[in-house]
């Protein structure tokens, strides 16, 4: 069987970003959390102390012994993408990369001292050259941002929660931390998607990759505009009950929903921020030490305020009404849970939503 997933594509010049700081592409919520953590005195020391407890060494040995390490003689096309991604984002030390046998498409970047990137065979077989380039850039973005450390902690705590599930309240305490880390990690995925776009510099390829992850290798049956319409329908549809269900559905996930990721990435690609980076105007790593935690939190708060104001989600609209001092909040809450349009009919007519 001939594998057409990695057909040669015309080489093209890509813009390189010397000394780029991860702050250039980080989602505001992700960035403010990372800046605050990096500013904590002794933060690095604490995590180094935890390294004896975390399974990093075990994971490295596992992938070394039971996966294929990417290099000049193994998965050479992936090795070229990895080196290219590190060159574009100016990551001096190229992380080790492994391909592991798993039919489910996936990739991750983990590690405390040195990040390692792992991609599954399912992902390698699913994506074409340019789509895979965006994924490799995504994982290199995780490495540059320092996400690998927190992802390793999340894996460790998730496993710990399973082991202490029988201890009264023990699992509750651990899962509270895991839930918070997952919320941060979902935002970090939006950051890494942006890094993938900076590496690939091909929005269509990034969109195709996300569509394939959602619907498989059937691009002839899919359409980018229709896929993005799903994201809009997901955000705006339903009433407050659906908003609550959305929250419950996303809580156990480490990644945002694929349609949401596609919509977020397209919005950023069309923004002035993305164009400024391409033009060479971006924060440098040499300036990271001077970054203000207050400014980062202020930017994050501004982002969330804008999100609430422009969101079409029923719950976010209600939050906006409350923040704006809207009257008759009890009535609005009742109407929106009942799916009413607010005209006073409510659900008492017997024709409410099922």
Q: Which residues are catalytically annotated? A: 139
Other CB atoms within 10 Å distance of the CB of residue 134: 28
- SS3 label, residue 97: strand
Contacts 24+ apart (CB under 8 A), 325-328: none
- SS3 label, residue 348: coil
In contact, 159 and 98? CB cutoff 8 Å: no
Q: How far apart are CA 232 and CA 310, in angstroms?
A: 12
């Amino acid at each position: 069987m001939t594998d057409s997933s990695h057909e040669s594509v015309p080489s093209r010049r890509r813009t390189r970003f010397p000394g780029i700081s991860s702050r250039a592409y980080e989602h505001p919520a992700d960035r403010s959390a990372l800046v605050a953590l990096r500013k904590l005195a002794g933060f690095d020391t604490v995590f180094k102390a935890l390294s004896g407890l975390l399974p990093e060494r075990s994971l490295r040995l596992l992938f070394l012994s039971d996966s294929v390490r990417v290099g000049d003689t193994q998965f050479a096309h992936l090795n070229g993408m990895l080196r290219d991604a590190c060159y574009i984002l100016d990551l001096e030390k190229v992380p080790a990369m492994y391909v592991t046998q798993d039919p489910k498409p996936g990739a991750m970047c983990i590690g405390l001292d040195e990040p390692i990137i792992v991609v599954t065979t399912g992902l390698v077989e699913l994506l074409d050259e340019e789509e895979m380039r965006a994924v490799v850039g995504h994982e290199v973005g995780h490495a540059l941002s320092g996400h690998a450390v927190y992802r390793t902690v999340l894996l460790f705590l998730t496993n710990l929660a399973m082991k202490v599930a029988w201890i009264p309240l023990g699992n509750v305490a651990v899962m509270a931390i895991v839930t918070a880390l997952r919320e941060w990690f979902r935002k970090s995925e939006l950051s890494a998607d942006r890094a993938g776009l900076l590496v690939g510099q091909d929005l269509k390829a990034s969109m195709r990759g996300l569509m394939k992850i959602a619907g498989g290798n059937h691009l002839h049956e899919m359409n980018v505009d229709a896929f993005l319409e799903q994201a809009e329908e997901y955000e705006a549809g339903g009433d407050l009950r659906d908003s609550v269900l959305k929250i419950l559905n996303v809580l156990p996930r480490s990644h945002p929903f694929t349609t949401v990721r596609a919509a977020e990435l397209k919005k950023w690609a069309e923004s002035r921020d993305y164009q400024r980076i391409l033009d060479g105007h971006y924060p440098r790593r040499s300036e990271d030490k001077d970054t203000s935690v207050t400014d980062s939190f202020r930017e994050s708060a501004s982002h969330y305020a804008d999100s609430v104001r422009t969101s079409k989600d029923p719950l976010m609209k209600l939050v906006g009404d409350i923040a704006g001092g809207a009257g008759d909040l009890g009535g609005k809450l009742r109407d929106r849970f009942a799916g009413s349009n607010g005209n006073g009919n409510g659900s008492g007519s017997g024709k409410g939503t099922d």
